[in-house]
Amino acid sequence: MEKEDITGKVIKAAYEVHNNLKSGFQEVVYQRALAREMRALGLEFKREEKIPVYYKGNKIDSRRVDFVVEDVIVEIKAKSEFEDKDFIQTLAYLKSSGFRVALLLHFGGPKVMIKRFIN
């Protein structure tokens, strides 16, 4: 599946989750709901997946991300607003892992906010 199709379906699932739950829940609630919606859309994913961290071509560590949806990293936040550290963390995961696309989803506000990163 093309990355645009994957990210489009993840975004569709995120809107569905937020339209039903709104804001106010802990991140884990949105993770569970998003997993159900992505499964219903036929997306293959792993939740709480460890991704590698490479330094000069050598694996030196791993980090846990909320989802790997096919070959897209998906990170979820449920705070009142995005913080700079959310962008920095997601971008660091993307660059150090070798993945090409990441989505940062924010469920804590009056509407779902989405940031797409491309490596």
In this structure, are residues 21 and 107 in contact, taking their beta carbons and an 8 Å threshold?
A: yes
Distance CA 48, CA 24 (A): 21
Distance CA 9, CA 6 (A): 5
In this structure, are residues 78 and 92 in contact, taking their beta carbons and an 8 Å threshold?
A: no
Return the CATH number of 3-118, one of 3.30.70, 3.30.720, 3.40.190, 3.40.1350. Answer: 3.40.1350
pLDDT by residue (tens digit) across 31-71? 999 999 999 999 999 999 999 999 999 999 999 999 999 99
| Mean pLDDT, residues 13-31 | 97
Whether residue 77 is predicted with pLDDT greater than 90 in this model: the reply is: yes
pTM above 0.75, yes or no: yes
CA-closest candidate to residue 49, choices 102, 13, 5:
102
